[in-house]
Amino acid sequence: MKKPSLPSLSLTTSSFLLYYGSVLLFSFLLYTPVESMAADVSQPSVAAQQPETTKPPQTRPFDYIMANRPDPFLPFITDKTTDQETGDPNEIIDQNEPLTGMQLFEPAQLSLVALMETGTEKLAMVQDSTGKGYVLTEGTKIGRRGTVKAISPNKVLIEELAETRGGKKILSYIDMVLKKEGEK
């Protein structure tokens, strides 16, 4: 008896491995998609599980009760509180209008230096602390709330109308009297 030679043994082993390896690979490729499709077919779909006659659960409409609750549409934080909510109702409020011309001076900052009458128009000349002169006529706005109401031979009458937080209107009058020479 002759012993098998080594090259013939390795040929048989290699052909054996090649044959079974290709069979294994082919079966893997063949059955892998089939198994996944079989898994999909075996599980019934969600639509097939639910009967067609099921009704959605009954819901009732939502009712929001406002009693003792804040308004949900108002912001939680406000930048500025309104004037009516805070402060003294008798406090005088200022208008936020830009001041121009004689409105930049309060009557106490000016001194009356001359009064004139030209035909039908009456004029008053005032001067500020720097010595600069200005002319006033009836109806001229002066200060934050004042208006020249009347110019008489020896004085100028200024009417100031102020409004409080409570809506009350306060009317006051200021007289600018022409001082004679030598008076202070």
- Residue listed under structure tokens 């067609």: 52
Structural domain includes residue 41: no
How far is residue 33's CA from residue 31's CA, in Å, rounded to a whole number?
6
User: Looking at the 3D structure of the chain, how many domains does it have?
Assistant: 1
Structural domain includes residue 47: no
How far is residue 5's CA from residue 157's CA, in Å, rounded to a whole number?
140
Q: What is the pLDDT of residue 65?
A: 81
Structural domain includes residue 143: yes
Structural domain includes residue 36: no
Q: Which residues neighbour 172 within 8 Å (Cβ) at sequence distance 6 or greater?
A: 159, 160, 162
Structural domain includes residue 152: yes
CATH code for the domain in which residue 155 is found: 2.30.30.830
Q: What is the pLDDT of residue 83?
A: 44
Q: Is the pLDDT of residue 139 over 90?
A: yes
Q: What is the pLDDT of residue 27?
A: 77
Q: What is the pLDDT of residue 24?
A: 79
Question: What pLDDT digit, counting tens, does each position of 102-133 carry?
Answer: 888 898 899 999 999 988 899 999 999 899 99
How far is residue 141's CA from residue 160's CA, in Å, rounded to a whole number?
10
Question: What pLDDT digit, counting tens, does each position of 41-52 carry?
Answer: 555 555 556 556
Structural domain includes residue 16: no
Q: Is the pLDDT of residue 137 over 90?
A: yes
Q: Which domain holds residue 139?
A: 92-177
User: Residue 86 — very low, low, confident or very high, per pLDDT cuts 50/70/90?
Assistant: low
Residue 69 DSSP code: S
Q: What is the pLDDT of residue 73?
A: 85
Q: What is the pLDDT of residue 132?
A: 93
Beta carbons within 10 angstroms of residue 127's beta carbon? 14
The overall average pLDDT reported for the chain is 79
How far is residue 124's CA from residue 154's CA, in Å, rounded to a whole number?
10
User: Residue 80 — very low, low, confident or very high, per pLDDT cuts 50/70/90?
Assistant: low
- In order, the DSSP letters of 72-140 are TTS-SS-SS--TTTSS-TTSEEPP-PPP-GGGGS-GGG-EEEEEEEETTEEEEEEE-TTS-EEEEETT-
Structural domain includes residue 14: no
Structural domain includes residue 109: yes
Once rounded to an integer, what is the mean pLDDT over residues 49-76? Answer: 77
Q: What is the pLDDT of residue 100?
A: 83
Q: What is the pLDDT of residue 141?
A: 93
Which residue pairs, CB below 8 angstroms and at least 24 apart, start in 78-83? 83/165
Q: What is the pLDDT of residue 55?
A: 74
